[in-house]
Chains A and B, each alone.
Chain A
Amino acid sequence: DAEITQSPRHKITETGRQVTLACHQTWNHNNMFWYRQDLGHGLRLIHYSYGVQDTNKGEVSDGYSVSRSNTEDLPLTLESAASSQTSVYFCASGHLGSPLHFGNGTRLTVT
């Protein structure tokens, strides 16, 4: 069965370190998204991609970057982790106008 997987499930890192969260989907979706979820804010869009070599900024993109070198993967990089980036991160993928499929999330703690 097709799926979308995120790794790691949990990550603790120190302020200032670079961190990369992985997202891999086998749905063959062109559209992929990264969201962060925080209490009181719901899900907020960080970055998204409509296909290979395409990346776009979402509403909370500062301090984050993504790259899309193939259809299956959209890694999210925190260039220099900050305590404000402690959150739960969700990756999702989907076709135009259709429901999104979500991974189970990565809980990131920046100390």
Chain B
Amino acid sequence: SQQGEEDPQALSIQEGENATMNCSYKTSINNLQWYRQNSGRGLVHLILIRSNEREKHSGRLRVTLDTSKKSSSLLITASRAADTASYFCATGINSGGSNYKLTFGKGTLLTVNP
């Protein structure tokens, strides 16, 4: 079963508006990552936040992490039509030594209308 679950499943906004996507997970994690996927392509990493961090920024992206609630949010500010894509959260868990696994949610489909 999925470790992370995104909400909403789909989001449609106008260009210039902000987009917020949420992710909830079930077990303790070492880090949480957000990825973007354009139609027909592989996933591209956006931002990684470690379990001891609460907020990270990268350009127009802002990610928060609340480990007590086991949840994260991704905020895209001043959205553009080119931001139209699916966005996935993934929870990273170290299982000892150099062993490491990422588990993905089902994703949020973001549509930014011009």
User: Which residues of A come within 8 Å of B, CB atoms?
Assistant: 30-31, 33, 35, 40-45, 48, 50-51, 59, 90, 92, 94-105
A42 touches B88 (CB 8 A): yes
Contact for A103 among B31, B42, B88, B92, CB less than 8 A: B42
- CB-CB under 8 A from B1, the residues of chain A are 59
**Distance in angstroms between the alpha carbons of A50 and B102 in the assembled complex:** 13
Q: Which residues of chain B have C-beta atoms less than 8 A from A51's C-beta? A: 98
Interface residues of B (CB under 8 A from A): 1-2, 30-31, 33, 40-45, 48, 88, 90, 92, 94, 98-107
Residue of B48, B94, B104 touching A99 (CB-CB under 8 A): B48
CA distance A33 to B90 in the complex (A): 14
**Inter-chain contact total with CB atoms closer than 8 Å:** 62
In the bound assembly, the distance between CA atoms of A48 and B98 in angstroms comes to: 13
Partner of A40, one of B30, B45, B106: B106
A100 to B, closest residue via Cβ: B102
Q: How many whole Å from B72's CB to the nearest CB in chain A? A: 15
In the bound assembly, the distance between CA atoms of A61 and B77 in angstroms comes to 39
A48 to B44, CA, bound (A): 19
Q: How far is the CA of A31 from the CA of B2 in the complex (A)?
A: 20
Of the candidates A43, A59, A99, the one whose C-beta lies within 8 Å of that of B33 is: A99
Note all chain B residues with C-beta closer than 8 A to A97: 30-31, 92, 94, 100
CB of B88 within 8 A of CB of A48, answer: no
Complex contacts, B42 vs chain A, CB 8 Å: 90, 102-105
